[in-house]
Structure 1
Amino acid sequence: MKFYDALQLDPAILKQKIAACNTGREKTYYWIAMVARSVLIVAFAIVFISLLSGVFGADNTPLAVALFCIMLGIRFVNFEYCIGDSLVTLAAALAILVLAPSAAAVVPPVFLVPLHFTAFFALLCMTAQRPEMGNGGLYSFAYIYLTGNPVVGEALVRRGLLALAGYLICGTILFIKHRDQHKTTRFHQVMRKFDLSVPVHLWQLRMALGVSLVLTAGQVFGVERFMWMGFACASLLSEYPYSGNPTTRFRQRMVGAVAGSCAFFVLYLVTPEAFHTWMGPLGGLCLGFCADYRYKTAMNCFGALMLATGIYGLQGAVLLRIVDTLLGVTFGLVFAALFHRLAGVRFLPALDSSEGA
């Protein structure tokens, strides 16, 4: 395998190849690829996000982060319909990511659930026809992150311009990588086939409803850093194939959040202050070696806590991370059980019979 091709592989696949190697030289080759991949991604992320933040303002850094993630994902995963419709829906998705979070910050609470549900459900329908490929988690992360970091006025105009720049970058990659795929499939054809007895469509509905409810609850009750609740809840509901019992993901998320928060706390205390600004990139670097969901969750804590420590202090940020995660996964677990019970009356028997066929 060429070194460039090895750099494109997920850490889980690289670790499988390392385990299957017969010689130390082969193992070293793939370990070097894994290290290089992680370093290059973090370095590129710093340059890309810093550049866009410098041009469009630090208050729009969250969208720069989201665009970086979308850009990485769109190289490998398309929307499962023709390139013309895909480019249109990419523009629509970015418009939702710009406008809906800012609207949610100013509308009366009574409109929050309809707004979040409509925006998030549309986002999933446009981008996540195959949830197992990761688009559901990618665009849900972007929506929740931006909802927790809304802007208004002149900053919103700059956010729109940043989204336009992101569209030109991501749209170009989408066209180059996927223009010859799904040529005969149109977006409206996909939408006409919407049926809640189909697992992916039931998953989309549950995901959109659950996330819209947890975000609304966080905003209405004034939960600090409520987007962390949203991330935790979405992590349970994004699991695919559809399952009415996400208890395994519940435990993994909590274990990862507690372990990552405690590791950050200890490392922050024992390292010099000059090192603290690098703890976010350190988490990103370590993330490049993680294949297990628990470890990924732990490493994701580093960047989040680095930003929050400047606002809430070290102890406040760590405690808030753990509490918000607990609230989010508990909400997700209860919601998944209720949704499964209600959906089972009408939709799940048909779903089960279709899977058996």
Structure 2
Amino acid sequence: MTREFYNALQMDPSVLKRRIAACGTKGEKAFYWAAMAVRSALIVAFAILFISLLSGLFGADNTPLAVVLFCMLLGIRFVDFDYCIADSMAALGAALAILTLAPCAAAALAPVLVAPLHFIAFFALLLLTCQRPEMGNGGIYNFAYIYLAGNPVAGQALARRGMMALAGYLLCGAILFVKHRKRNPGARFHHRLRRFDLARPECLWQLRMALGVSLVLAAGQAFGVERFMWMGFACGSLLSEYPLPQNTAVRFWQRIVGAAAGCGLFALLYLAVPPDFRSLLGPLGGFCMGFCTDYRYKTAMNCIGALMIARGSTAFRARWCCVWRTQCWA
């Protein structure tokens, strides 16, 4: 039973819900519901510990990279880069270098140069990490780039961010090596690169994502939009669906419905919860995200953490609010 429960903890909520639907007894259904709840609670608890530790070591202004590393840590256990381990380790280092340097460089460039930089950096990031978008890597690295673009640093904070990226490389690289060292032994990155062709759905997806997100981020920065990264999140979420949808309008309206519901839920919770406990709304959103499989419900849960950050909370509260996001993209 212990081994079976552990295996259930490794499953995605969509898989667990299919198991629940197929169960013939209440006991079996309760087993999988319990696994889903424990899985979500463990992810949130580990996120708080992991993000707090890295933020304490490298500074609160680098909390966004700690969140990104946590998401990468969860994803890299199950999904590799689809080529040999030597090239995968190099790609991981290159991806972290892009995530560390490109968003900070964009914040210091003239507006006319921001869009080309975002496009080149984000497109390179997708080429390195998302050869198979259906495996979900696109969501993680899309979130990572946009989140860091909205939270650039400079000077000593940038140096600390580089050190955190190095620590993240050692940790994620160790997991990548242990979990995937025997996969795709003959596949090289340059082999994948030579196969790039816009007639291939995954290549068109990469170009579409990079072009859309880079233009939105550049527009947000050029027009001085406060927290323009939320524009990037909305754009990336709509474009990240793979296989390429025939009609993105459905996902567009689902996002509007989910956002409206999430804002209403946040307003009710914020008024009902005593002020001293409102900082817990971020982790609560993250926990509830562990039960969501429908895009509308995920969007609604997103709003809880997003509105806590938009409220202008302290660094302490913002750190816990970041936890909700890890459940969505990890």
TM-score interval for Structure 1 and Structure 2 normalised by the shorter chain: over 0.9
Q: Distance in 2 between matches of 1:206 and 1:34?
A: 34
Cα deviation 1:279-301 (Å, max 9, x = unaligned): 00000000011111111111112
Q: Deviation of residue 244 (structure 1)?
A: 5.2
| One-letter identity of the residue aligned with 2:17 | K
| One-letter identity of the residue aligned with 1:127 | T
Matched, 1:169 2:171: yes
Q: Kindly report which structure 2 residues correspond to 1:119-158, keeping only aligned pairs within 5 A, or say none.
A: 119-158=121-160
Q: Kindly report which structure 2 residues correspond to 1:234-273, keeping only aligned pairs within 5 A, or say none.
A: 234-243=236-245, 245-273=247-275
Q: Distance in 1 between matches of 2:56 and 2:309?
A: 18
Structure 2 counterpart of 1:44, from 29, 43, 46: 46
TM-score, with structure 1 as normaliser: 0.86
SS at match of 1:252: helix
Q: Which residue is 2:232 aligned to?
A: 230
Q: Which residue is 2:283 aligned to?
A: 281
Q: Distance in 2 between matches of 1:138 and 1:252?
A: 21
Q: Distance in 2 between matches of 1:282 and 1:217?
A: 33
Matched, 1:308 2:310: yes
Q: Distance in 1 between matches of 2:36 and 2:58?
A: 33
Structure 1 counterpart of 2:64, from 55, 62, 65: 62
| One-letter identity of the residue aligned with 2:294 | D
CA RMSD of aligned residues (A): 1.1
Q: Distance in 2 between matches of 1:267 and 1:124?
A: 38
Larger mean Cα displacement after TM superposition, 271-280 or 302-311: 302-311
Structure 1 counterpart of 2:185, from 175, 178, 183: 183
Count of residues in Structure 1 that have an aligned counterpart in Structure 2: 312
| One-letter identity of the residue aligned with 2:158 | L
Q: Which residue is 2:319 aligned to?
A: none
Q: Which residue is 2:220 aligned to?
A: 218
Q: Which residue is 1:315 aligned to?
A: none
SS at match of 1:76: coil
Q: Which residue is 1:6 aligned to?
A: 8
| One-letter identity of the residue aligned with 1:29 | F
| One-letter identity of the residue aligned with 1:87 | M
SS at match of 1:291: coil
| One-letter identity of the residue aligned with 2:119 | F
| One-letter identity of the residue aligned with 2:238 | L
Q: Distance in 1 between matches of 2:43 and 2:90?
A: 28
Q: Which residue is 2:326 aligned to?
A: none
| One-letter identity of the residue aligned with 1:75 | R
Q: Deviation of residue 310 (structure 1)?
A: 2.1
Q: Distance in 2 between matches of 1:18 and 1:211?
A: 37
Q: Which residue is 1:96 aligned to?
A: 98
Q: Deviation of residue 116 (structure 1)?
A: 0.3
Cα deviation 1:169-215 (Å, max 9, x = unaligned): 11011001100100000001100111111111011111101100000
SS at match of 1:105: helix
Q: Deviation of residue 311 (structure 1)?
A: 5.7
Q: Distance in 1 between matches of 2:145 and 2:189?
A: 21
Q: Which residue is 2:194 aligned to?
A: 192
Q: Distance in 2 between matches of 1:185 and 1:299?
A: 39
Structure 1 moving runs of 4+ over 6 Å = none
Q: Which residue is 2:81 aligned to?
A: 79
Cα deviation 1:249-277 (Å, max 9, x = unaligned): 10111111121122111210121001101
| One-letter identity of the residue aligned with 1:53 | S
Cα deviation 1:134-191 (Å, max 9, x = unaligned): 1111101000000000000000000000000111111011001100100000001100
Structure 2 counterpart of 1:33, from 32, 35, 44: 35
Q: Deviation of residue 122 (structure 1)?
A: 0.2
Larger mean Cα displacement after TM superposition, 170-179 or 245-254: 245-254
TM-score, with structure 2 as normaliser: 0.93
Indicate the percent of aligned positions where both proteins have the same amino acid. 68
| One-letter identity of the residue aligned with 2:288 | C
Q: Deviation of residue 245 (structure 1)?
A: 2.6
| One-letter identity of the residue aligned with 2:168 | G
Q: Which residue is 2:327 aligned to?
A: none
Q: Deviation of residue 307 (structure 1)?
A: 1.8
Q: Which residue is 2:208 aligned to?
A: 206
| One-letter identity of the residue aligned with 1:231 | F
- Structure 1: any 5+ residue segments left out of the alignment? 313-357
Q: Distance in 1 between matches of 2:155 and 2:257?
A: 40
SS at match of 2:44: helix
Q: Which structure's relative contact order is higher, taking Cα pairs within 8 Å and 6+ residues apart?
A: 2
